[in-house]
Structure formats: structure tokens, C-alpha cells
Amino acid sequence: MPQYYFGMKLQIFVLFSLFTQIGAAKVEKPNMIVIMCDDLGYADVGFNGCQDIPTPHIDSIARNGVRCTNGYVAYPVCGPSRAGFMTARYPQRFGFERNPQYQPQDSDMGLTREEKTIAELLRPAGYHSGIIGKWHLGAHIPTSHPMKRGFDEFYGHLGGGHVYFPEKLTIRRSQDAKGESESYRTWLMKNFEPVPPRKYLTDDFSDEAVSFVERNRDWPFFLFLSYNAPHTPLEATEKYLNRFSDIQDPKRKTYAAMVSAVDDGVGRVLKEVRRHGLEEKTIICFLSDNGGPTSKNASRNNPLRGDKGDAWEGGFRVPFALQWKGRLPEGRVYDKPVSALDLGGTVVALSGAEVPEGKPLDGVNLIPYLTGENKGAPHEAIYLRQFDRNRFAVRQGNEKILIPWKGGKAQLYDLGKDLGESTDLADRFPDKVEHLNRLRIQWNRQLREPAFLGLLHLPKRKKKP
């Protein structure tokens, strides 16, 4: 046998050992904390240029890490956006394309059991998972409660929103609330038990988040801090309102106070992470679940066009930043499109958790992109389908089409030059429209029709005479 054969074998052996060592080092099981606001506008954090609401703690995440200027969620309203985040898969793949109704008796009204949550994926990898705040993925406690979906602890509410003042929480048991609006007034649940109201909701969630970090500091954890602020109703305490005596519009003033309360909470969580020396072990992300509904809560999405619910950028491009001390560069601005689905994609990849066969994640591990190690784009395209609105959006590079799928004319925008989507270029570049439409057709083949009726399908309440 020629001598080079042994030499080659040795080289392969050395390479193989090196590779497995690198492979082993990659499974490092970082913690992940995702702080998600509800209906926060793109322009309502300091790191996106907000002037009238100081958000120093939220901004510190961008300063100590990466600000993603093109961060998308999977859908421009709460429920489907969260279903996407929670599974790291487009929710249209599994029929979660509407805001679920609050139906504690209906096990089909929410996240199908055919999908796995990030918490379910992370559990076999040794993670302890908690959700604090809004769930909104099903109110049927025996099957849809967060602790039936991979979470080890829950402190929050099952529905799509909540009142903030403890004295307004008048319904003890979550399963007794009839419909969405009553669900806003239930007591919060700690795991499966109703808890007597304690304090202003945002502060209450922040307390619980600090406690979560303290209690779980010694093992890998995933914390979803799911503030319902600044979703309506607009309610804030004097402590926070007093910070905004110079804002005249009462709606904007209360909204600002609510965002300020979140910022305080973010600061306390960051401090707790530092106190336990966990900064280098913890990826901390901040984002909103959809664009601001500007007329409802006085949020702002400028310079983006459109609001919550829209396929314009203002509907589903959100404030998006993440830090990971020692691993991500500090103060970097990343402009390629990323998605909320990537947060799960990142932690699942880093944890070494297995992904079920036949259900690949749409979310990718963002870390190599954010460090600059991978210069490519994380996604071939960003997709949105709004079944009930007869609408698709597809973005590739800076080009975006909006297209009705039951007939109608497509629009094309160049987001690089026209962030506000004011000049329709479809007639000038029909080939581009066709290319993006081909991507849409391909993607749409992988989707299902919505699996349940949504809030919009409820009979309209009769107005009192």
C-alpha cells in the first residue's frame, strides 16, 4: 500500500477530530430571552429614531448588539405573527392565518398540535422554558395552555389583550370569560392557577421576568417575555404618565407612558442578566409582534407606509434588535431582511435540538449573518399571505410585490429607493413582477387554507338603541 495512503488517512483523522471538536463546541446551549411588545410602532423606539419617548434600555440592546433595520414578523396581526415566532415556521403552513377567537371550549381554536413550539423543540435539549405575558395561541386549557405546549412555566393571560390596572381584573377563572373582550378582565394565571391581581400589569410581568432569570440562572433557559403593552386599552399609572408632561395628545401621552414602563422592565431584566454574569451566555432579542395601529394607540411607523393589518411595510416590519455579548458585534446595523422566525431558528440550531422530519424550520440561525461570517442573505425571500384580504407580499432583495391572488393587478416597489412604497414600478418592470410572482406561486403551494375562523368572523355586536 502506498505510503501517501497512510498520510492521507492521518490527515483525514486529524481533520475529522478537529471537525468534531468544532461541532461539539457549536452545541453551547445559550439562553434566549425574547422580549416582544404588542402593537409597538416601528418608529417608537430610540434605536429607530423616536424622539418623544426615551427608551434607553431597549436601545442598549441595539447598542450592545445588532439593530436589524429590515426585521419582519410573519403576519401583520398578533395571533398569526406569534404562531410563526413560536414555531419558527410560517403560520400559513398550518392554517394559523387569523386572530383566534377566545373560545375556552374549543380545542381547535389555536395552534395545532401537529406543530411544535420552540419550547417543545428545546425541552429534549435540556432547556427550561417560560412565558410571561400574552399567549394568544388558544384558550382551551387542557390542550392549548402554554404548559401543554412545551413551557415549564407561565405567568400571564391566554387571550389577545388585557386591561392593565389590577382593580379591573374582575373575572377569576380564565375559562369563565365569554369571548375576547371579557378575557381582557380575567385574573392572570400562574401556571394553571388564577392569581389575585397584584399591580400594574407591565410592572407585574417585569417582576416575574426578573424572578425567572434569578431562578433559572444555572441551566439553559428560554424566556418569552410577551408584554401586552402597548396594545389597547391605553392605560398607564401616574408614575409613567408624569414622565411625559410635555406630550399634549392624551393618547400619545398614555402610549408613551406604557412604552416607558416596558423600557423600565427591559432595564431590570438586563440588569438581572448582568448580575448573574449571564450576558455571554444569553441572546437577548427585542421586537414587536406587528406594526403599530396608529389610529388606535397613537403609535407611529414612519417612514414606513401602512399600519397593523397591512401588507405595506408598516404592517409587518418591526423594531428588531438583539445582543449576545462576546459573540455579536456591538453597535452593528444589519440591513438584509431577517424574520421573527429566525429567533427560534437561531436558538434551536445553537442548542443542538432536533427538528422533526418533514417540518423544516423557516427560521435560520442568524448568528453567522450578524457577525459577518456569512455575507449572503438569510432568506431567498420574505413572504406574506393574507388569505381573508386576498393579498400576498413577496420581497427579494429590495424589490417587493403586492399582489391580489383572486385576480387583480400587482404592484412593485423598490424599497432601496422608495421605503415609503409610493411609486408603483409594475408597468416598467413586468419581468420583475413575473419573477416575484413565480416565487409566490411556489411558496403558496406549500400552504394550507386557514384552519379556524377568526375574530373577524364573529357576528357584529348589536349597537344599543
- 180 makes contact with Ca ion (CB under 5 A): no
Of 34-42, 120-128, 310-318, 364-372, the segment contacting Ca ion by CB under 5 A is 34-42
Q: Which of positions 322-351 make contact with Ca ion (CB under 5 A)?
A: none
Smallest distance, Ca ion to C-beta of residue 85, A: 11
Residue 290 found at the interface with Ca ion (CB under 5 A): yes
Nearest CB to Ca ion, comparing residues 115 and 289: 289
Stretch that binds Ca ion, among 15-23, 72-80, 387-395, 440-448 (CB under 5 A): 72-80
SS3 content of the chain, % helix, strand, coil (to 5): 35, 15, 45
**Which helix (DSSP H) or strand (DSSP E) does residue 15 occupy?**
helix 3-26
Choice between 120 and 289, CB closer to Ca ion: 289
| Cα dihedral across residues 425, 428, 434, 439: positive or negative | negative
Q: How many CB atoms lie within 10 A of CB 322?
A: 30
Counting every residue written for the chain, the total comes to 465
> Rounded CA gap, 358 and 153, in Å?
29
Q: Determine which residue in the list 39, 264, 310, 362 makes contact with Ca ion, applying CB under 5 A.
A: 39
Q: Provide, rounded to whole angstroms, the least separation between the CB of residue 383 and Ca ion.
A: 19
- Within 382-421, which residues bind Ca ion (CB under 5 A)? none
Binding of Ca ion at residue 263 (CB under 5 A)? no
Binding segment for Ca ion among 36-44, 207-215, 328-336, 385-393 (CB under 5 A)? Answer: 36-44
Are 185 and 176 spatial neighbours (Cβ–Cβ below 8 Å)?
no
> How many residues bind to Ca ion according to rule CB under 5 A?
5
Beta strands in 257-358 (DSSP E): 282-288, 320-323, 332-334, 338-339
Residues 6+ apart with CB under 8 A from 245: none
Question: Closest separation between CB of residue 18 and Ca ion, Å?
Answer: 47
CA distance 267 to 264: 5
Return the number of the residue (339 or 396) whose C-beta is nearest Ca ion. Answer: 339
Which residue lies nearer to Ca ion by CB, 263 or 289? 289
Q: How far is the CB of 39 from Ca ion (least distance, A)?
A: 4
Minimum CB distance to Ca ion smaller for 78 or for 343: 78
Radius of gyration of the chain (CA): 23
State how far the Cα of 389 lies from the Cα of 155, in Å rounded to an integer.
34
Work out whether strand 193-195 and strand 221-226 pair parallel, antiparallel, or are unpaired. unpaired
Nearer to Ca ion among residue 38 and residue 307 (C-beta): 38
The set of cell numbers assigned to 66 is 445588532
CB of 75 to Ca ion, least distance (A): 10
Which residues 6+ apart lie within 8 Å of 387 measured at CB?
Answer: 92, 97, 98, 449, 450
3-class DSSP assignment, residue 110: strand
> Closest CB to Ca ion among 164 and 413?
164
- Residue closest to Ca ion when measured from CB atoms: 78
Q: What angle do CA 415, 419, 423 make, to 5 degrees?
A: 80
Residue with cell 411558496: 443
The one segment of 37-45, 196-204, 266-274, 411-419 that binds Ca ion by CB under 5 A: 37-45
Which residues inside 130-149 make contact with Ca ion, applying CB under 5 A? none
C-alpha cell of residue 136: 394568544
Query: Whole-angstrom Cα distance, residue 274 to residue 281?
Result: 10
For residue 50, the SS3 value is coil
Which stretch in 51-59, 288-296, 363-371, 385-393 sits in contact with Ca ion by CB under 5 A? Answer: 288-296
174 vs 290, beta carbon nearer Ca ion: 290
Quick one: 66 or 261, whose CB is closer to Ca ion? 261
Q: Which stretch binds Ca ion (CB under 5 A): 58-66, 77-85, 121-129, 218-226?
A: 77-85
Instruction: Point out which span in 29-37, 96-104, 286-294, 448-456 binds Ca ion (CB under 5 A).
Output: 286-294
Q: Which stretch binds Ca ion (CB under 5 A): 39-47, 175-183, 252-260, 427-435?
A: 39-47
Beta carbon nearer to Ca ion, 39 or 272: 39
Residue with Cβ nearer Ca ion (304 or 349) = 304
Q: Is 289 in the site for Ca ion (CB under 5 A)?
A: yes
Q: Residue 38 interacts with Ca ion (CB under 5 A)?
A: yes
Query: How near is the Cβ of 78 to Ca ion at its closest, in Å?
Result: 3
Q: How far is the CB of 427 from Ca ion (least distance, A)?
A: 35
Q: Which is nearer to Ca ion, 321 or 340 (CB)?
A: 340
Q: Estimate the crossing angle of helix 250-275 against helix 201-215, to 10 degrees.
A: 10
Measured over all CA atoms, what is the biggest interatomic distance in the chain, rounded to whole angstroms? 98
DSSP string, 397-461: TTEEEEE-SSS---EEEETTT-TT-----TTT-HHHHHHHHHHHHHHHTT----SS-BGGGSPPP
> What is the distance between the alpha carbons of residues 322 and 308, in angstroms, rounded to a whole number?
23
- The grid coordinates listed for 15 are 481533520
Q: Which residues bind Ca ion (CB under 5 A)?
A: 38-39, 78, 289-290
